[in-house]
Amino acid sequence: MQPIRHATSQAKPDANAREVWQGADPTIATVTIRTLLRAMREKKPFAALTCYDATTARWLERAGVPVLLVGDTAAEVILGYPNTLHAPLDFLITLTAAVKRGAPRCLVMADMPFMSYQANEDDGVRNAGRFMIEGNADTVKLEVDASFASLVAKMTRAGVPVVAHIGSRPQHAKQVGGYLAAGKTADDAMKIIADADAMLAAGAAMLLVEATPIEVTEEIVRRSNVPVIGCGAGSACHGQVVVTHDLLGLTDRQPPFALPIMSMGKELGEMADTWKDRVRTGALGDHPYTLADEQRVEFFRRIGRA
Ligand code: KIV
């Protein structure tokens, strides 16, 4: 199996390119699951991006990105860990609330971090509730297979819209030996189809499929009555999500399905160089704070410089 961050992309430009969801309509208060179901029915693929802070969220909402994922990739891109296992629960809840404050009209999807739902179902439901209440999340995302069906059903029964993340599951990277593609044998592909079926039967509000061959994705999309978001799963999906820092050119390596659109790493370097020059030369712009004349006289008198 190939590491997905180096896999040869199977995605080709869609010959029958469909109309893309055009962004936030000012008459729509917020993007909801119903908005995405409509986009699915109208065959208008929608964009989703990871987001970890309020400022970026504000700009992504202004740009008309309907779905923001507060991913456990925050462990990598924000906290600097080598994998997604190190995303503290409280930290992700805090980031989720920040993103929702920055983009109140976007559908905010919160990633449930490693060990916040695997140990037992009661903790899982309670932690999902924390994302909804403290984080103001609109949905929670869990990396699952069919064995999580009962947990997903419990969350759904409690009123938590669950995005079932199937296919490649980065929280299992240590178990399988890296970030690998999934469903590359007929056996493995059939297992992922069974995972999708189990999640749909358990009431998942959406599926997220990561790093699967196009044929496997297409079959999942064909069976699904809810939106399927892909991450390196090909263009058949109703929505597509990638890590924003990859598109910005801030990461050192990007997967082939999320090639940089900008060179922000380079631009950050240029910004730092310019600031260093300004500091060195004292060219700091007009100074905005002044003492009124009489205050200056009084101040100088008191420090003995009158
Ligand atoms: O955490 C994350 O960013 C994800 C992906 C699907 C991009 O889960």
CATH code of residue 61: 3.20.20.60
Tell me whether residue 210 is one of the annotated catalytic residues. Answer: yes
Task: Tell me if 259 is assigned to some domain.
Answer: yes
Is 215 a member of any domain? Answer: yes
Structural domain contains residue 74:
yes
Assess whether pLDDT exceeds 90 at residue 26. no
Average pLDDT, integer, range 83-97: 98
Per-residue pLDDT, 12: 43
In ligand 1, the atom with minimum distance to the C-alpha of 72 is 1
Q: Which of 56, 57, 86 is nearest to 74 (CA)?
A: 86
pLDDT value for 155 = 98
Looking at the CA of residue 50, tell me the nearest atom of ligand 1: 3
Ligand 1: residue of 52, 144, 171, 210 to mutate (most ligand atoms within 8 A of CB) is 210
Tell me if 42 is assigned to some domain.
Answer: yes
Average pLDDT over residues 171-187: 95
Residue 276 lies in a domain: no
* 72 Cβ inside 6 Å of ligand 1: yes
- The pTM of the full predicted model, rounded to 2 decimals, is 0.90
Residue 220 belongs to domain spanning: 4-266
Atom of ligand 1 at shortest range from CA of 170: 8
How far separated are the first and last CA of the chain, in Å rounded? 79
For residues 283 and 267, give the distance between their C-alpha atoms in angstroms, rounded to a whole number.
Answer: 20
pLDDT at 19: 52
Mean pLDDT along residues 222-230: 98
Instruction: Specify the number of domains making up the chain.
Output: 1
pLDDT exceeds 90 at position 14: no
Closest C-alpha to 110, from 43, 44, 155: 155
Q: Supply the pLDDT for residue 3.
A: 40
Residue 281 lies in a domain: no
pLDDT, position 20: 56
Let me know if residue 81 belongs to a domain. yes
Give the type of residue at 247: L
> Is 8 a residue whose pLDDT tops 50?
no
The residue whose CA is least distant from atom 4 of ligand 1 is 71
> What confidence tier does 7 reach under pLDDT thresholds 50, 70, 90?
very low
Ligand 1: which residue has its CA nearest to atom 2? 71
Q: Is 210 in the pocket of ligand 1 (CB under 6 A)?
A: yes
pLDDT given for residue 306 in this prediction? 85
In a domain, 283, yes or no: no
Q: Any idea how long the chain is? A: 306
Q: What is the mean pLDDT of residues 87-115?
A: 98
pLDDT tops 90 at residue 23: no
Q: Is the distance from the beta carbon of residue 73 to the nearest atom of ligand 1 less than 6 Å?
A: yes
What pLDDT is recorded for position 29? 64
Out of 61, 143, 210, 219, the active site residue is 210
Cα 288 to averaged position of ligand 1 atoms, centre (Å)? 43
- Non-local CB neighbours of 148 within 8 Å, separated by 6+ positions: 142, 164, 199, 202
The model's pLDDT over 30-77, given as tens digits with 9 standing for 90+, comes to 899 999 999 999 999 999 999 999 999 999 999 999 999 999 999 999
